[in-house]
Chains A and B, each alone.
Chain A
Amino acid sequence: QQQVKQSPQSLIVQKGGISIINCAYENTAFDYFPWYQQFPGKGPALLIAIRPDVSEKKEGRFTISFNKSAKQFSLHIMDSQPGDSATYFCAASVAGGYNKLIFGAGTRLAVHP
């Protein structure tokens, strides 16, 4: 039973385009929603995170949009660059739950020049 569903599995975007990755969850006790970026042969690294008290968070070209009523959140990468080519994971955790993360299945992004 996958608690965090992520789509699409893979995504191809042209340089300068917008990459959009979506995640949905069921557990309303989740209160922390990070996105991790992973390059081949490396461990995941935190990219950006949001809590449900805000609907959007932006850091540079990366934006998280959060819809609490729909139990969905998404990552938008503006002006996508070849260097953004990586696997992206959404995740969620429960407050007081020892920071245990539930990950989505991942999205492999390829940005073509």
Chain B
Amino acid sequence: NAGVTQTPKFRVLKTGQSMTLLCAQDMNHEYMYWYRQDPGMGLRLIHYSVGEGTTAKGEVPDGYNVSRLKKQNFLLGLESAAPSQTSVYFCASTLTAGTSTYEQYFGPGTRLTVT
């Protein structure tokens, strides 16, 4: 049981380049999330998904796109990277049942630098 995995672990991009971050979970969780972590700002929600084929915007969605074609995978795309997108990106997933709140399980993160 690998939990939540993220690829790649590190990446350096030049301004204007594009890339996709992959998140995979093997816990059959319905909900998945993408956060970014910046010093002094905690974690901020970028986009989230409440099921296969559905996505929604979070707190800081600008400059990012997401897709959830399969229940176990959640992709985060940067179409034209900017230095402001230099950050550590975390994926998370959670079980859900009605309106109850459950623990979010986080991946190990992807450290992205945009030069």
Contact = CB atoms under 8 A, between A and B. Distances in A.
A96 B103 contact: no
B90 A44 contact: yes
Interface residues of B, number: 28
Interface stretch (A58-66, A68-76, A77-85, A99-107): A99-107
A98 B31 CA distance: 8
Contacts of B48: 98, 100
B114 interface: no
A104 B50 contact: no
Contact of B101 (A32, A41, A102, A105): A32
Interface of A: 4, 6, 9, 31-32, 34, 36, 41-46, 49, 89, 93, 95-96, 98-106
A69 B106 CA distance: 31
Contact of B103 (A9, A49, A103): A49
Contacts of A34: 103
B77 interface: no
A62 B107 CA distance: 24
B104 A105 contact: no
Contacts of B45: 100-102
Nearest to A90: B42
Interface in B62-113: 90, 92, 94, 96, 99, 101-104, 106-109
Given A105-B42, A106-B42, A95 B109 contact: no
Contact of A100 (B4, B33, B99, B108): B33
Contacts of A96: 99
A101 B39 CA distance: 18
A32 B104 CA distance: 12
A19 B98 CA distance: 36
B43 interface: yes
Contacts of A31: 101
Given A89-B42, A98-B31, A100-B33, A43 B96 contact: no
Nearest to B43: A103
